[in-house]
């Protein structure tokens, strides 16, 4: 039976590739050059965890300790620059939805529990989980001079990372073993994201921005 650790590593690899591919797509939309493609993909893949580590003052970064990831990213970008055709872009966009959802679950839960076990307050730990899972995409959009999609598309995404982080902390407080806590919370978060995609769940709109009714 596969251990939690080996499953988690597979999800991590697949999800990081999906995050990098989201950067490729954003760079394609903006018609960036080779350097822009590599930087935007790299930031989409590693930016969230790096920002979290800067805030928590942790070194070395993941990609400094394992520079093979940087090489893999470089290879992916070169492959995309040479081999990808216009008609592949829409396919890529759909293909990354599932691994991206797995990444949302795993990275938010790992980010939360990393900060939580380092003694951060619960709300701060949950925020670190959100940063890990979501801010690669936010930084990607900032570098592309776009309003961050995670702030404006009214899809449940960061909100699920928030829920997943609290679930992980709750399970940990109940005394579950670490791998059960991580696995269960990540699974629930990813499943909720897939449900949100399947049934087009939307965050409620902001009331101040609705047209006001007469009798109000």
- Smallest distance from the beta carbon of 117 to a second copy, in angstroms? 15
Q: Classify residue 119 as left (phi > 0), alpha (psi -120 to 50) or beta.
A: left
Instruction: Give me the DSSP letters along the chain.
Output: ---HHHHHHHHHHHHHHHHHHHHHHHHHHTT--HHHHHHHHHHHHHHHHHHHHHHHT--S-HHHH-THHHHHHHHHHHHHHHH--HHHHHHHHHHTHHHHHHHHHHHHHHHHHHHHHTT--HHHHHHHHHHHHHHHHHHHHHHTT---HHHHS--SSHHHHHHHHHHHHHHHHTT--HHHHHHHHHHHHHHHHHHHHHTT--PPPPGGGSPPPTT-
Closer residue to a second copy, CB minimum distance, 23 or 99: 23
197 touching a second copy, by CB under 8 A: no
Q: Is 70 in the site for a second copy (CB under 8 A)?
A: yes
Residue 11 or 150 with smaller CB distance to a second copy: 150
Q: Using CB under 8 A, which of 67, 91, 94, 199 touches a second copy?
A: 67
Q: Which stretch binds a second copy (CB under 8 A): 9-17, 23-31, 96-104, 164-172?
A: 23-31
Q: Say how far apart CA 55 and CA 25 lie, in whole Å.
A: 28
Residues of this chain, 79-138, that bind a second copy according to CB under 8 A: 80-89, 120-124, 127, 134, 138
CB 78 within 8 A of CB 158: no
Nearer to a second copy, 11 or 101 (CB): 101
20 counts as binding a second copy under rule CB under 8 A: no
55 binds a second copy (CB under 8 A): yes
The yes or no reply on residue 72 touching a second copy (CB under 8 A) is: no
For residues 46 and 63, the answer to whether their CB atoms sit within 8 Å is yes
Q: Which two tokens stand for residue 167?
A: 């679930």
* Binding of a second copy by 163 (CB under 8 A): no
| Contact call for residue 168 and a second copy (CB under 8 A) | no
Shortest distance in whole angstroms from residue 4 CB to a second copy: 29
33 is a site residue for a second copy (CB under 8 A): yes
Specify the stretch interacting with a second copy by CB under 8 A; choose among 3-11, 26-34, 164-172, 180-188: 26-34
The binding site for a second copy (CB under 8 A) comprises 27-28, 30-37, 39-40, 50, 54-57, 59, 61, 63-64, 67, 70-71, 74, 80-89, 120-124, 127, 134, 138, 142-148, 150-155, 157-159, 203-210, 212, 216
């Amino acid at each position: 039976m596969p251990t939690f650790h080996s499953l988690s590593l597979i999800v991590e690899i697949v999800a990081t590739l999906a995050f990098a591919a989201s950067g490729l797509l954003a760079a394609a939309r903006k018609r960036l050059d080779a350097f822009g493609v590599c930087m935007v993909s790299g930031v989409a893949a590693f930016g969230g965890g790096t920002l979290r580590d800067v805030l928590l003052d942790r070194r070395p970064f993941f990609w400094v300790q394992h520079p093979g990831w940087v090489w893999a990213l470089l290879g992916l970008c070169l492959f995309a620059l040479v081999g990808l055709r216009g008609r592949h872009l829409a396919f890529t966009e759909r293909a990354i939805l599932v691994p991206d959802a797995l990444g949302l679950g795993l990275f938010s839960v790992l980010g939360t529990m990393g900060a939580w076990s380092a003694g951060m307050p619960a709300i701060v730990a949950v925020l670190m989980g959100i940063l890990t899972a979501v801010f690669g995409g936010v930084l990607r959009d900032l570098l592309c001079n776009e309003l961050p999609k995670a702030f404006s598309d009214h899809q449940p995404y960061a909100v699920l990372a928030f829920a997943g982080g609290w679930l992980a902390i709750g399970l940990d407080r109940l005394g579950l073993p670490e791998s059960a806590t991580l696995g269960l919370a990540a699974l629930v978060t990813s499943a909720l994201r897939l449900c949100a995609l399947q049934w087009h769940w939307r965050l409620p709109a902001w009331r101040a921005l609705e047209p006001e009714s007469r009798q109000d």
